[in-house]
Amino acid sequence: MFAILRKEINSFFATPIGYLVIGLFLVINGLFLWVFPGNYNILDSGFASLGPFFTIAPWILLFLIPAITMKSFSEEIKQGTLELLLTKPLSSRDLVLGKFFGALVLVILSLIPTLLYVLAIEMLKKPEAILDWGVITGSYFGLLFLGGCYAAIGLFASILSPNQVVAFILAIFLCFISFFAFEALAGFDIFSFGSFNLSDLGISAHYDSISRGVIDTRDLVYFFSFIIFFLFVTGFNLSSKKSS
């Protein structure tokens, strides 16, 4: 697994894609938070809060993470190197986990520079004001889990098609459905089932919950189950290709 992890990280930074993804994430966030006027501009809002960042970051990652993962298996299938990998003493689990953690490392590297936003907020706030570090920490954990969910979906989409563009579009669609659709459908009375809330099936509800600064075991179980499910079906598809 670690050999695949190193290979993935090296491939990201041996080409412009790793730098491009990190750069785009920071530039787009920076423009919305500090330059473009609007609801997300921290300077215009008059409040020293990172709420706007944690609101728009999931939507930016929704496009950037599929861009990271779209070539994970699609390129291997297209170039015929997947068969070569499958002949090596590597289990499907090691191959999937290596690629997953490789994508997750790139997500973490994208988030680390945004800690400068925390420093900026600390400098902008009134001297008597106190930052809610619980909310900030919980929100960063939420973004990390969100990135893991998106990466797992991206790998699943990548194993389904040798075409990177198709894998990219499919991953964006599945990420959008997983993040937003359940919350939207929960707004219709037709989908009300007593105490059951349809929005609990979506990523958004659990991301919002953990972003409040309270680590709820239900949210952790949801995120881990979501990631494990998509990694499992990815591994299942990979094993099917290996046996065929």
6-15 per-position pLDDT tens digit:
888 888 888 8
pLDDT digits (tens, 9 = 90+) for 65-83: 999 999 888 888 887 777 7
Residue 123's domain spans which residues?
2-243
Q: Cβ distance 110 to 22 under 8 Å?
A: yes
Task: Give CA angle at 5 (110, 3), nearest 5°.
Answer: 155
pLDDT digits (tens, 9 = 90+) for 151-182: 999 999 999 988 999 999 999 999 999 998 87
The pLDDT score that the predictor gives to residue 191 is 53
| Total domains, the chain | 1
Q: Backbone dihedral region of 237: left (phi > 0), alpha (psi from -120 to 50 degrees) or beta?
A: alpha
Instruction: Give the mean model confidence (pLDDT) for residues 198-216.
Output: 86
Three-state DSSP state, 67: helix
